[in-house]
Chain A
């Protein structure tokens, strides 16, 4: 069965420093991977996705994610964090032969000034 794990409940980063939010997945076929962000009292917003091709995917708000097939990971990164990046981040995976999107439990990102 497909699954996705976000091993950190919370990540704390100082403003201006690089940030990484981790995600690992398990599927039997080819994965399609997504990152969504949820700001307080808001719905989820799409950040980026990996379908095929270049392992480094660029998305909204300066975020990027690197697909690593051997480590079954899809970590979210940003070179320089902003206080406004503070939010809840969700990784999700879907297997190409299965149409159900499976979500991680989320990681709370806190950027301190």
Chain B
């Protein structure tokens, strides 16, 4: 079974530049998540999609972050403009069902972003 695919693996940009990350979840998984993981901290949920609708984006800094999941499959996360504090690993995860409650999440390897 193919896992969650993410690209790029690494990205280095200067502050105020824009960047985009791509995620392809496991085939058939209805729910897709974007997490931000700052070094030394646990993952922080940025946005959760159920099919192509947003379930939770309460912690997404909407003035600079945006995400979409067209056709309920692939997803992109964009940062524009980037700040130094956005340096982190961005993890994409997916789960089979409609709710997180008791399902396990499958994670991609993440995109490590460095903002200089």
Which chain A residues have a beta carbon within 8 Å of chain B's beta carbons? 32, 34, 36, 41-46, 49, 51, 90, 92, 94, 96, 99-101, 103-106
Contacts and interface: CB of A to CB of B under 8 A. Distances in A.
A100 B91 contact: no
Interface of B: 4, 40-45, 55-56, 91, 93, 99-102, 104-110
B102 A51 contact: yes
Contact of A44 (B44, B99, B101, B107): B107
A105 B40 CA distance: 7
6 contacts: A43-B107, A44-B107, A46-B106, A49-B104, A94-B102, A103-B43
A45 B42 contact: no
Contacts, number: 54
Given A36-B105, A46-B106, 14 more contacts: A34-B104, A42-B109, A43-B93, A44-B43, A44-B107, A45-B107, A46-B104, A49-B102, A51-B102, A94-B100, A94-B102, A101-B100, A104-B42, A105-B42
A105 B44 CA distance: 10
A100 B108 contact: no
Contacts of B108: 43
A100 B45 contact: yes
A43 B110 contact: yes
Contacts of A101: 45, 100, 105
A96 B101 contact: yes
Nearest to B99: A99
A42 B99 CA distance: 25
Contacts of A90: 42-43
